[in-house]
Amino acid sequence: MLKIREYTRDLSEAARTGKLERAFGMDEQVLDLIRRVTGPSRRSVLIVGPNGVGKTTLVHALASSMAQSRDEVLRAFRVVEIDLAAIRTEKESVEHTSTTILADLKESLDTIAFIDGVGPIFLLKDVQGDQTSIARVFEPAIKQRYIACIGTLTYAEFDRVRKVDPSVDQTFEIVELRPYKEDATRALLKEARPELETQHDAKISDDAIEATLRYTKQYMPDDAWPGKAIEVLDQACARYKLKQRVHEELPEVQEDMTMRHLGAKVSPHDVKRVVTEITSIDIDAKDAEVWRDQLASRLSSFVFGQQGGVKRLSAAVTAAKAAYGTKNRPFTSLLITGPRGVGKLHACRVLAQQLYGEQNAAHVFNMAEYAGESGTAHLLGASQSASELTATPSISTQVRSGEFSICVFEGVQNADPSFFDALTSILTTGVLRDAHRKQVNLHRCSIILTMDEQESGGQAPLTGAVPPEVLSLLDGVINFERLEADTVRKMIRKRLEEFHAYLKPHGVGLRIQDAAFDLLEQTCFDKDHGVDHMPERIETLVLGPLRGIAKAQGLKPGLSFDIVAGEAGIAVTTSNA
């Protein structure tokens, strides 16, 4: 028997049991929403507004207001949230699951369906395949008023839906939520202060409220007030209380740097640290523009011949960090295109090193290894046996081992169409569910697709390999160029310099003939594969022999390794200074 609770959440029940957070400053909007959804017409409502303005919070406030009302008619209403992402991972039949849920909703005239991010129901209604049949079930039910529905969309998502289905304006009553101004947000934070203080058992200073306004405005520009301000101040209170508990239970750590700003109240320092953790921008050291330029400089030190691509990559990541906290989206989503072997995957690993301190933070999924619908199911963790196939891990197993990470889908020109169906949902909601119904949160992950294109491919291969609906959801498309000969030489030199750095402390030198350089360049680069085979060829021709000689002869001051071009190719010899 289908367990509908696996795919829905009864918000009215959650409100009655105190499991919904209180909404501040929304009394008028709640009353307006009640008037719209409780009338005899059963007209559905679409709440439109930027991220952070409180669209979801308004629906939660509606459920709480109805559940706690003294009016018996209002208390009889039930607000039920439908989890589209959970339904779309149903391995048996999405259509059967959707139809069963719809039948349950239609049983009661007092049931209101809430769909957070309702866009897929309209954007995917014409897509073939069971995984998107949810749209073909719910879209006519909403239009024909078989159920009352409240949906939410950002302005950008609303524009996309309008282009696909202009009748959406007749299907829904549109309610716009606009961002708060600074004075209104300040007043709301002061209104929320007593409850936050009670919840966290901590006092909040006026300076902390002003810091919340200042830092969220400067470093989180793509999220709207008041949502981002409430979130940051709430986290600052939690952070302060944790420090206070540590200070009381472990007084020996009071001289630790993390404890030196523990005052009597939540302070601007606590707010600053929360914003730094959310955006990864060190507020004390640099602003976003400086951080972007420094990231581009660091990437260029390791990614050669792609100055334009590196700048665009740095700008995209910086914009994502400034906007971190955006609901229902991964941290950022990008497509890197270019000929094979020009450093696309290498750039992703270097980016992971710069952002998270280790290249292993880049989880690479070679799409050639996930062929067909079964391969996609395994990749998404929708296969019960996915966890057993450790040679080709699933997204869920990798992301759970490192929430702050980059998911690289390498060679998406090899991906099955079912992958892009699932990717659309991931890019829209920022979550997926595995075979065990566990939700995998991708909000802290970057999604980077790489695609090999022929040099003369232009846009035709791009639009042919990646569906337009996926391209429209990406934060950017970055093109890497074919590598020039001097760039290949720089890459070889960089690798040899890294090895020389190991020799220098022993007083050992390393020299390479120009002729040997030319031969290495010819060997490490080819038109079809770029520099894909460069690491192993340098290892085989140069570094392996060097290590063999060093092991046999030892590293003695004054010794020099010479890389020369001989009749048999590249050779490694030694000499004394």
Element counts in the chain: helices (H) and strands (E): 26, 16
CB-based burial label for 285 (10 Å; 0-12, 13-18, 19+): exposed
pLDDT at position 389 over 60: no
Tokens encoding 5: 């609770």
pTM of the predicted structure, to 2 decimals = 0.53
User: Phi/psi of residue 52, each to 5°?
Assistant: 90, -5
Q: What's the confidence (pLDDT) of residue 458?
A: 44
Q: How far is CA 84 from CA 53, 88, 117, 146, 440, in A?
A: 22, 6, 9, 18, 14
227-238, pLDDT tens digit by residue?
999 999 999 999
The 10 Å Cβ neighbour count of residue 471 is: 12
- Tell me the C-alpha distance between 315 and 296, whole Å: 8
Question: Per-residue b/e over 195-230, b at no fewer than 16 CB within 10 Å?
Answer: ebeeebebebbeebbebbbbbbeebbeebbbbbbbb
Give me the count of residues in the chain: 577
What mean pLDDT do residues 401-414 have? 81
Sheet holding 559-566, edge to edge: 509-512, 559-566, 569-576
Q: Please provide the average confidence, as pLDDT, over all residues in the chain.
A: 83
Whole-number Å distance between alpha carbons of 481 and 402: 31
Q: Which of 8-17, 223-232, 378-387, 537-546 has the lowest mean pLDDT?
A: 378-387
Q: What angle do CA 187, 190, 194 make, to 5 degrees?
A: 150
Mean pLDDT of 479-487: 84
Tokens of 226: 């008041």
How much is the pLDDT for 197?
94
Q: How many of the other CB atoms lie within 10 Å of CB of 293? A: 15
Q: Is 47 helix (H, G, I), strand (E, B) or coil?
A: strand
Confidence of residue 469 (pLDDT cuts 50, 70, 90): confident
Instruction: State how far the Cα of 102 lies from the Cα of 84, in Å rounded to an integer.
Output: 13
| Model confidence pLDDT, tens digit, residues 549-564 | 888 888 888 888 888 8
Vertex 506, ends 505 and 508: CA angle to 5°? Answer: 105
Question: Tokens 């202060």 map to which residue?
Answer: 193
pLDDT of residue 256: 44
* Distance, CA of 430 to CA of 91 (rounded, Å): 20
Rounded (10°) CA dihedral 539, 544, 550, 553: -150
450 pLDDT tier (thresholds 50, 70, 90): very high
Q: Does the structure show a pLDDT above 80 at 82? A: yes
- What per-residue confidence (pLDDT) applies to 495? 83
- Dist. CA 224–CA 438, nearest whole Å: 30
Retrieve residue 390's tokens. 């450790």
pLDDT of residue 538: 87
Single out the residue of 223, 292, 211, 302 nearest to residue 55, CA to CA.
223
Nearest to 348 by CA among 356, 424, 530: 356
State the Cα–Cα distance between residues 349 and 331, nearest whole angstrom.
Answer: 17
